[in-house]
Amino acid sequence: MTLNEPLSGAHRTRNGRWSRRRGSTSLCYLTLLALAIASGGCASTIGAVPRPFPTPNSGRTTTGATAPASSIVATALGLRGAPYRNGGTDPAGFDCSGFTQYVFSRYRVVLPRETRDQFLVGKSVGVEDVSPGDLLFFTTNAPGASHVGIAINREEFVHAPSSKGVVRVERLAATYWSRRFLGARRITPP
């Protein structure tokens, strides 16, 4: 290419002169416009990365007055009957930690994704001090915290168990659960 050649959309005619092809100018302008739009994006600052709320894998936990225990329990109970799905994190299907993470996220409380990590957040409370909205942890299929539910009161909790396949309420005093109870954590104010 020489300095006298056009950049694009042109060809030499029989007499050796340069001529533009029909439609090539419009195509060139449309291409430039598309590039400008694509590179502009919608971020208000350079390097900004928009993030949806909540960010489940952010590794941080936020607690506060925006998560009243009664609302946490009401939301959890409203999801009774939702199917169990291993790895599930929404009403189409939950596993136990996906269920607790989803419920708390409705109130801008970000919990870690895994049960064992949820067991490390909040304040430890004794079984006699369990309040509505506390997380209850159990040792079921692996050592340590391997199952989690949300306390409704001192006697009952709601969770997403793999057996019977739906979010449901259980009694903490039931033999299966009482033998496997590991501890409780308070994430919200009582």
Q: Does 147 participate in catalysis according to the annotation?
A: yes
pTM score: 0.66
Which is the catalytic residue, given 11, 28, 42, 147? Answer: 147
With beta carbons less than 8 A apart as the criterion, state whether 172 and 136 touch.
yes
Residue found under tokens 């002169």: 17
CATH of domain 63-186: 3.90.1720.10
Q: What length is written for the chain?
A: 190
pLDDT per residue as tens digits for the range 93-150: 999 999 999 999 999 999 999 999 999 999 999 999 999 999 999 999 989 999 999 9
Q: How confident is the model at residue 164 (pLDDT cuts 50, 70, 90)?
A: confident
Q: Does 96 participate in catalysis according to the annotation?
A: yes
Which residue, 99, 102, 96, is CA-closest to 56? Answer: 102
The H-or-E segment that residue 10 falls in is strand 10-12
Which is the catalytic residue, given 11, 28, 42, 96? Answer: 96
Query: Is residue 74 scored above 80 in pLDDT?
Result: yes
